[in-house]
Structure 1
Amino acid sequence: MTKLFIVRHAQATGNQDKRFQGSTDNDISAYGRLQLAALSERCHRLPLDRIYTSPLRRAVETAKAVGAGRRLAILERQELREIDCGVWEGMTWDTIRCERAAEFETWVSKPHEFQAPGGEAMRSVFSRMNHILGEILEDNPGGCIAIVSHGCAIRNLMCRIHGLPFEQLSQTPWMEHAAITAVEDSAAGLSIVFENDIQHLQKIKSYLA
């Protein structure tokens, strides 16, 4: 049996500023660094063999936190990057809602049809995330692997893991920043052990409150 721990990167500056960052290579925010500390403590107990990550800085920094204190290989894979949203990149969500209302409605209600002008088609994200999942499973039979990626990319991956057709992407929930989902791959196929787990972040929220 192969075990996968899928991790969304910690909060980045684009998230903090409520901007669409997509392929924009932003840093982790100050709050995100608190999340990384909590995530590192949680993941220290996981018997990981290897970590795969998107090459964007916010994901790489999260991957380093996942593997902190251990000599684990961290492998960057382009397939794990976030969607490139063309003209949406760097725009605030309020601006997108007001000035690109039709595109935003597709993003919300029919994400499988979404493609921002000058950007990547959602179907491309689904295709490459499925490809890298198959590659990781093939290369690590019986292993314990962490995968660090982004909100939209992980949503596409989880659509596949839930066994939903791509056209039902809108029914797949989003993962929160620094959340963990555990998946097992056995002879019976893929099964979710737990999803979007943020129990390790509760101390941070209580402290800030």
Structure 2
Amino acid sequence: MLWRHGQTAWNLERRFQGSTDIELTPAGIEQARRSARLLARLRPDAILSSDLKRTAATAAELAAVTGLEPEYDSALRETYAGVWQGLTHDEIVQRFGEEYAAWRRGEPVRRGGGELETEVAERAAPVVERAVEKLPPNGTLVVVSHGGTIRTTIGRLLDLPPRHWEALGGLSNCSWSVLGESMRGWRLTEHNAGSLPEPVLGDDD
């Protein structure tokens, strides 16, 4: 299960967070607490989390109701986006319109001079796979990460061409996606799931 962190103030402001270390809002903490109660019913065997504050706080809510100790890995951080970080969506479009348009078309773009989406997948997906290998038979891993990192990780695990990763769509705060192993490899069984429909705010952060 790949679980996106709860709401932050920058999500509400449509401000690109990237690897900037932003905390959850009180509403974000409540989102994490509510979702954690649902996820705990699946009896996860392990929790793996990005080490940024917003994901660590989200993982802590699941740890509190499961008794599991989360492991943290910086490879699960959100995309580093250089000078885009801290800018609102409108500011990015205004200042970096051509770069933004190329990214939306699916071209490989170092947004703000930062990482390519493929580079994010290359650092994050192997961490998830190694954690899965440590699970007991039919075990469940919960990965607490960020919208962009989760999308690129799913794309890589499903072996989709990078230009098609955007087709997966974004995750709302504290929603999750579920991957299962089959005879032919990974299979996406749920995407952007949660207890109630929520708008997608600031997906790549």
Question: Scaled by the length of structure 2, what TM-score is found?
Answer: 0.88
Closer/same/farther in 2, CA of residues 103 and 162 from structure 1, 3 Å limit: same
Q: Report the Cα distance in structure 2 between the residues aligned to 1:9 and 1:92, rounded to whole angstroms.
A: 19
Report SS of the residue matched to 1:62: helix
Alignment coverage as a number of residue pairs: 198
| Unpaired stretches in structure 1, ≥5 consecutive residues | none
| Structure 1 residues 45 and 182, CA gap change in structure 2 (3 angstroms) | same
Relative to structure 1, is the Cα distance of residues 21 and 83 closer, same or farther in structure 2, using a 3 angstrom cutoff? same
Question: Which of 83, 88, 93 in structure 1 is aligned with 2:89?
Answer: 93
C-alpha contact (below 8 Å) 1:79/1:129 kept by paired residues: yes
Distance in 2, matches of 1:70 and 1:122, equals 33
Q: Partner residue of 2:46?
A: 50
Task: Give the drift of 1:87.
Answer: 0.4
CA contact (8 A) 1:38 1:201 kept: no
CA deviation digits over 1:94-124, x for unaligned, max 9?
Answer: 10011110111123222x5020244122221
Map of 1:125 onto structure 2: 120
How far is 1:140 from its partner?
A: 2.1
TM-score under structure 1 normalisation? 0.87
| Aligned-pair Cα RMSD in Å | 1.9
Separation of aligned partners in 1, 2:22 and 2:191: 26
**Take 2:165 and 2:65, find their aligned partners in 1: how far apart are those partners?**
37
8 Å contact from structure 2 (residues 132, 141) kept in 1? no
Distance 1:27 1:113 in 2: 29
Structure 1 match to 2:202: none
- Structure 2 residue 27 is the aligned partner of structure 1 residue 31: yes
Q: Per the alignment, in what secondary structure is the counterpart of residue 70 of structure 2?
A: strand
Contact 1:83–1:153 (8 Å) recurs in 2: yes
Moved over 4 A (4+): none
Q: % of aligned pairs identical?
A: 29
Post-superposition Cα deviations, 1:180-205, rounded to whole Å, max 9, x if no partner, equal: 2222124442122222112x246x99
The residue number in structure 1 matching 2:152 is 156
Shift of 1:130: 2.2
Write out aligned runs for 1:35-184 (5 A): 35-110=31-106, 113-142=108-137, 143-184=139-180
